Structure 1
Amino acid sequence: MSLTPRQTLALSDSSLPPAPPAAPKPSPASSLDIFTGDPNFMTSLARGLIVIQAFTQQSPQMTISQLSVKTGLSRAAVRRCLYTLTKLGFAGAEDGSRYSLRPRMLTLSHTYTTSNTLSTAAQPILERMSAALRESFSVATLDGEDIVYIARTQVSRVMAVDLHIGSRLPAYCTSMGRVLLAYLPTEQLEQYLAKATLTAHTTRTITSVEKLRLALRNVRRNGYALVDQEYEVGLRSLAVPVYAASGRVVATLNLSGNAPRLSVLEMQSRFLNHLRNAANELSVFLN
């Protein structure tokens, strides 16, 4: 009996070995393995910080079981962390089972922003720019594979996600992230590229390491980064570096706007000099 082309294709496909399963994403708790045997490393404190960071805007309340799954910590370890945080007023559970962070947690971020020279100096500069230009501006630093907002002003909602001081976004597909990556020492950049997961957030997102390398070279050559709808459709942003006295780039300052309203040309011609002047002013506080 002869087989149709479709039947032949089906048989040949069935003979192929199954695709290997995707490697599971490492849990936050697994990041502590490298400190095993270090007598000065406080594992209990590290576990508590992992539990704190597990709470997000998408998951503001979680049970012990949910936190155990999300962090990779045992239920017993999560329970002890939550017990301590609750006793200190940083967490609590209204119904006795679903935990959430408490307002006292804000004292930790307040301590950082009031003691950090860069954050303290940046906020009034951004507020002055927003008042004059009626746009949203931010300052961020690099933390691992993400950027972290340390100062921000917002005159209108330009992103679907609600950004605030402490918000994190992926570095590779944001203008501020591109600036901070572009000025990393070569060894640090190579370490980042070797482990970074370049996920497509939109059809415009750069997901190739080589294309990202080219984009970063362009940032260094031009002295700024312009990212057009790579993180979110409709969002266009422009960022410049902020230098310390040593010449090292320690932060980045950006403008975010609605793509249909702000063209690439307008961003470059109207706002680039304002951003550079503000970045230079901010650099003075670091000298």
Structure 2
Amino acid sequence: MGVLFTYMNSEIKSAGRILDLLEYMASRREAVPLAQIVRDLSFPKSSAHGLVQTLAARGHVVQDDVGRYMLVEASRHGFPFRRHEEPLVVVAKPFMEKLRDESGETILLATMNAHCDIRRLAKCVSRHRVRYDVNLDAAIAAYCTATGRVLLAFTPKETLEHYLSRVQLLSYTRYTVTDIERIRDVLTKVRRDGYALNDQEFVTGSTGIAAPIFDGTGAVAAALNLGVPTVRYNEQREGFLLMVRSAADDISRALGYRR
């Protein structure tokens, strides 16, 4: 009976550490190295390594190219995380952090499925006291957001036409474009210019700039979005646009894309 008690107590301790580690990772805005996890949680190094490897094997944690660990956003927000999206997040995250630091604004990474549903995969939140932020699993309208417009603009024509034939064009703000022909013109412009803009069409007082991320096959794999309070966008619009497009190009090259 004494041996059984010791075994159960050990299992409970391990479960507690897993929960502590998950809570710790969820509280971190940046990827963290194993040494920092050990220091911050006071775990034995061997135990911490085993725990993060267990979480990684189950798809809850990924490791970047310099060995730091980050919680997969899907684990934090509850939607299923597809296997092909994990490498995308790992590659994009350092560039997102750099763009967040250079611009001072919130950066988002998103993809779209065949039904034109947008999935936000990751974010790096601005450190400004007044900033744009959103839950990754919050609903998003493709036709009136910068992220959605980039992904719609580069989707196959049949997929786009099916989306436009069934979507209900709602006015989220007084700036929302709901005329379908104007939306077609906007998407044509996005394909030509290589970026999309949403200026207070989805949320009053916030502006989004997005650019496509291409994979090694030349297909659009995701959209990179910078979200900013409109007042700051008006002060630095050209600079923000250049930074977003440059970061999207860097991620595309890291994914193997060559023009």
TM-score range relative to shorter protein: 0.5 to 0.7
1:79-124 superposed Cα distances (whole Å, 9 cap, x missing partner): xxxxxxxxxxxxxxxxxxxxxxxxx964965965896111122222
Q: Give the secondary structure class of the aligned counterpart of 1:116.
A: helix
Residue in structure 2 matched with residue 250 of structure 1 by the alignment: 221
Does residue 280 of structure 1 match 2:249? yes
Q: Which residue of 2 aligns with 1:266?
A: 236
Q: Which among 197, 205, 229 is matched to residue 200 of structure 2?
A: 229
Distance apart, 1:219 and its partner CA: 0.7
Counterpart of 1:245 in 2: which secondary structure? coil
Correspondence 1:189 to 2:164: no
- Residues 115, 259 of structure 1: alpha-carbon distance in 2 compared, 3 angstrom cutoff: closer
> Tell me, what secondary structure is at the counterpart of 2:176?
coil
1:227, 1:237 within 8 Å by CA — same for their partners in 2? yes
Displacement, 1:224? 0.7
Corresponding position of 1:149: 120
- Quickly say closer, same or farther: Cα 1:164–1:114, change in 2 above 3 A: farther
Q: Distance in 1 between matches of 2:75 and 2:218?
A: 35
Could you tell me which of 138, 155, 164 is aligned with 2:135? 164
Shift of 1:261: 2.4
Query: Which of 113, 125, 128 pairs up with 2:98?
Result: 128
- Listed as ranges, the gaps of 5+ residues in structure 2 are 1-73
The answer as to whether partners of 1:240 and 1:253 remain within 8 angstroms in 2 is yes
Counterpart for residue 38 of structure 1: none
Residues 107, 124 of structure 2: 8 Å contact kept: yes
* Residue type of the alignment partner of 2:255: L
Taking CA–CA contacts closer than 8 Å with sequence separation of 6 or more, which of the two structures ends up with the larger relative contact order?
Answer: 2
Spell out the pairing of 1:8-27 with structure 2 (5 A cutoff): none
Partner residue of 1:118 out of 74, 79, 88:
88
Per-residue Cα deviation, 1:261-283 (whole angstroms, up to 9, x for no partner): 221x732x212222122112211
* Alignment counterpart, residue 140 of structure 1, candidates 102, 105, 110: 110
Structure 2 Cα separation of the partners of residues 150 and 230 of structure 1: 22
Deviation string 1:228-279 (CA, Å, 9 cap, x unpaired) is 110011111111111112221121111111112221x732x21222212211
Identity %: 34
Report if the CA contact (8 A) 1:146-1:168 is conserved: no
Rounded to whole Å, the distance in 1 between the matches of 2:84 and 2:212 is 22
Q: Take 2:181 and 2:187, find their aligned partners in 1: how far apart are those partners?
A: 10
Rg: which structure is higher?
1
Q: Distance in 1 between matches of 2:245 and 2:87?
A: 19
Q: Secondary structure at the match of 1:237?
A: strand
| TM-score (normalised: structure 1) | 0.57
- Distance in 1, matches of 2:131 and 2:121, equals 18
- Cα deviation, residue 158, structure 1: 3.7
Residue 218 of structure 1 aligns to a residue in which SS? helix
Give yes or no for contact 2:150–2:190 (8 Å, CA) kept in 1: yes
C-alpha distance 105-223 of structure 1, shift in aligned 2 (>3 A): closer
Residues 180-228 of structure 1: per-residue CA shift (max 9 Å, x gap)? 0011111111111111111100111111111110110111111111111
CA distance in 2, matches of 1:239, 1:149: 13
